[in-house]
Structure 1
């Protein structure tokens, strides 16, 4: 696996990135005991001052190397590991390291819901007793990799772009980090920390998305969680800062990530003359955003609740390189959103900060939102549009292309004129008749399309009601909001009885959402309504046309409302508006 970094330049121009790849290392620095960690960091700083680039990590379990009072489990690998390189090679945008088959991982949580609830109860009890006021509680996802580590890193980078990404190989372990969180950026004089605390899901519409961001910025619980860690970082930085130089120039900044909104704040300082890299780590490590506050008490709770070492997750991953005037430039992330591989065995930690105001159900949902990045990257998929081609003319083509382009932007998929060229070629080959066209766009932006003869649909179509809700993990996730070939959550509800055309779905709140292959409309009290996107459904093109033409309006429809429905319609762009009948379960 090729070693690479793709780091935001936090103190550079907007959008400026440090993208480099590396060949064979000149030297390896590794610490396997606590008393070796400081020496490794000193060697890394010396190598960078001599002109080398050093890329590596410090494991969470190295904490006691800087403060013996910080408790952790025993490490399961080197406490610190860095590779030194004579040069950093350019890595251009779009230049992929691997052309292998996509990677595939099926993840399973090591934590049951019951165990999560019990841990939350213990945390709330400890907070109430005054042991600490925030703790960061985590648990690993585990899986087995099919494919190459490089292919998985490429997919992770597409799933979580724009942060502080690095991949490296120690020989026994591969670290694939796509963390959005900056630990610190230090040029030998000025230091910036950017702790990330506060999370909200992304919205189903631009309006809902903006409202969720505003709610995150103003929520007392989220702001309190952020301020607690800002205060901790201010205190940590003061240990190496010149007097009165610690500042907080930006507080409660919301950052849009693909699956969540995150809140960050900036803490800056001027370091004292003679400060070394090891001094920075001694003051800051581990980052307070992944421990809690006070740090020692929070880490005691972490050790008690979490049965295994965190590893590189929640430690630090970064690069130390030559700086100005013989100095150094050190940039480290907090390795959340990070996968560690040993052979085919993959581990990825997920967690959140717990305060007195944390609600169990909300925190559990936050974990699901945070794990979406690795779910996205771990199973290959294509973006999908299903279009009607009738006598050589496309039905609602602009709307389909806009929806596909929106999905491409969301999933960081390249977009080009190849999409329309592909459709033009297919239309020329099918000048007569009605065709169902399946348009696909892969992760590299390559388009393909197939046409299938489309037979008339017998009316009315018969629908069955799902026997259980579509879980919130899917209903409010990106694989419902955007149309892709990742459809297992829909396929599980597909009718097995050929008498039924499709299945009507509902969410965990008992709200009707959609069918597995189209949207739904219901006539209630003489008015046609369709569920709003916030209930968790695909924004279908046929649905959008019906709304635009005022044939329907949005309104929540609950299971309890079903007896009031006077008529049903199945709606999509391919079939149009189809009269439907819903078979309700027999009353017991």
Structure 2
């Protein structure tokens, strides 16, 4: 709102945090420094801006950017965003929908504040039930239209997207912090304008312009993360080598080379890095670097006029792609696919491409998901890629709060019998793989020391040990008395598909277990629930793996069905007691026997019961 003197003042909301200078926190910037040290980050906070620059029509966008640059060169910090629809300000041939909200918004700040020490992890973030705005049938029809356009020579690639929507009643800042933990190491920003809140945890750099050097890092090419270290590396290698993914990346690199040449010194545009795979928690992404020396006299407006919108979220050629985007996508993209960034004192400008970005207006949350479509892109594969990309919001289709909304620890459960830890090396190896996947620091000597202390304190008897590792790499271990294992257990079949079977929170063992707890047994005397995925394939139980005797062989589902790589399961596969094979729910009437298997309890013969009896 505006005060009597015309200055801008934020509306204070419950749960908003004060900064050391007494102002209300409105903006957070946590950007990777894209050059040099991979661990260096720009991590700063800002209170209410001293001035706000807003463009609501295309004619106002350029003047806003001119003012941003002038104020930054005077020593101010300018933090804000451009909507995708601001493209019309730079070229009238760029086709866009009319949208809601400002085309450009920047807060001007006299100084940056330290990153706030107060943690919002304790703030409750309610469940968010995302609703897709596009059916599979409509997706398939639009894929056919894109392929026709490519076949007719109208374009080479099109970045096709659709929105997700949800109701949200909670603290936007706490939600941002949770999303940032689920999607670390990129270009994250939280901006509260009073009118809307932008929660961007994008992994993609749009451009970094410092001095006479400008760097763009388009992100094109996606693959899921693997269930094991070997599978993970194989998926990364496949992403780097599959012709479809490489072609998609090269098309956009060529487009951005051409865009950069509009502001570059002659013959200075180069591609120092091509087909680089980056490990994110839920997917592998492929990036390439395009850089140039900027001509004298180039302004921030000139840079945006040359590059915006980023070719990675339009397609090529850009004008034709954007025209088809407007035909296929029924509404404005908004901040999603625009640009979110900071211009530092002196003029150093860094902007992300706001993918993996949630926008809040009132209680409505919006997030876009999309992918680049080329001639050889298949509808099934692209639909699956969309599913992998939206995983940063939470596993499968469960509410966001079930995955990203709280900090989690890595977990291993071991048996400690008379001072000896069963399968300790295997458990540590599995935890090490999980730490590498989630980016947790790993010090094996520290974990071994932690386990040794616990063993020394529990040298007799049988104990269930919980070994935990937090996001800072600090371990802790707990011991609980362990009762004797039952000779035989009863299992019930899940009443619905386990949607999170392919989630990283099922492939790796962590304290985030809400998706398993939702399938806890409901009938008296039932030991565990047998799960199955959306393809009708048996996966595992909520607390261990499953073995099934079928056609005279003991089988266990392969990891690709979506399950934890259990230590007890791995031991029996190695010893030849089990073989991997897909077993479907439809096969259960032919199953001759079952067993529950894990490292803690060993092999427990099991019966599959009717939960209604």
TM-score (norm 1): 0.88
Work out which of the residue numbers 523, 531, 538 in structure 1 matches 2:557: 531
Distance, in Å, in 1 between the alignment partners of 2:119 and 2:530 is 43
- What is the DSSP-based 3-state SS (H/G/I as helix, E as strand, rest coil) of the residue aligned with 1:107? coil
Asked if 1:318 is matched to 2:346, the reply is no
CA distance in 1, matches of 2:75, 2:371: 39
List gaps (5 residues or longer) in structure 1.
none
**Partner of 1:244 in structure 2?**
267
* Corresponding residue number in structure 1 for 2:164: 141
Contact kept in structure 1, 2:225 and 2:232, CA below 8 Å: yes
Structure 1 window deviating more from structure 2 (108-117 vs 274-283): it is 108-117
- Do structure 1's residue 222 and structure 2's residue 249 form an aligned pair? no
Where does residue 33 of structure 2 map in the other structure? 9
Cα deviation for residue 72 of structure 1 reads: 1.0
CA distance in 2 between counterparts of 1:492 and 1:117 reads: 32
Secondary structure of the residue that 1:281 maps to in structure 2? helix
Indicate the larger mover: 195-204 or 121-130: 121-130
C-alpha distance in structure 2 between counterparts of 1:317 and 1:112, whole Å: 29
Aligned equivalent of 1:151: 174
Where does residue 168 of structure 1 map in the other structure?
191
Tell me, yes or no, if structure 1 residue 580 matches structure 2 residue 599: no
* Residues 330 and 206 (structure 1), Cα distance of their counterparts in 2 relative to 1, 3 Å cut: same
Structure-1 residue corresponding to 2:147: 124
CA change 1:174–1:103 in 2 (3 A) is: same
Contact 2:187–2:205, Cα closer than 8 Å, also in 1: yes
Q: Which moved more, 1:22-31 or 1:280-289?
A: 22-31
Structure 2, unmatched stretches of 5+, are 1-24
Q: Distance in 1 between matches of 2:446 and 2:151?
A: 60
- For the 8 Å contact 1:100–1:148, the answer to whether it is kept is no
> Is 1:65 aligned with 2:54?
no
CA deviation after TM superposition for structure 1 residue 121, in Å: 2.4
In the superposition, relative to structure 1, how do residues 191 and 403 fare at CA in structure 2: closer, same or farther (>3 Å)? same
1:254 aligns to what?
A: 277
Equivalent position SS for 1:152: helix
Instruction: Note the 1:173-212 alignment, pairs <5 A.
Output: 173-212=196-235
Corresponding residue for 1:41?
65
C-alpha contact 2:229 2:433 (8 A) present in aligned 1: no
Distance in 2 between residues matched to 1:506 and 1:97, nearest whole Å = 38
Partner of 1:263: 286
RMSD: 3.2
Instruction: Please say which of residues 358-367 and 418-427 is displaced more in the overlay.
Output: 418-427
Matched, 1:23 2:47: yes
Inter-partner Cα distance in structure 2 for 1:166 and 1:96: 17
Shift of 1:159: 0.8
CA distance in 2, matches of 1:218, 1:358: 15
Deviation, structure 1 residue 534: 2.8
Aligned in 2, Cα 1:422/1:343: closer, same or farther, shift over 3 Å? farther
The separation in 2 between residues aligned to 1:227 and 1:300, in whole angstroms, is: 22
- Residues 430-481 of structure 1: per-residue CA shift (max 9 Å, x gap): 887655566666768888887766544443334455566544xx22211211
Tell which deviates more after alignment, 53-62 or 237-246.
237-246
Q: Which residue of 2 aligns with 1:481?
A: 507
Cα distance in 2, alignment partners of residues 238 and 447 from structure 1: 51
Q: Secondary structure at the match of 1:106?
A: coil
Task: Return the match for 2:363 from 324, 344, 347.
Answer: 344
1:523 positional shift: 5.0
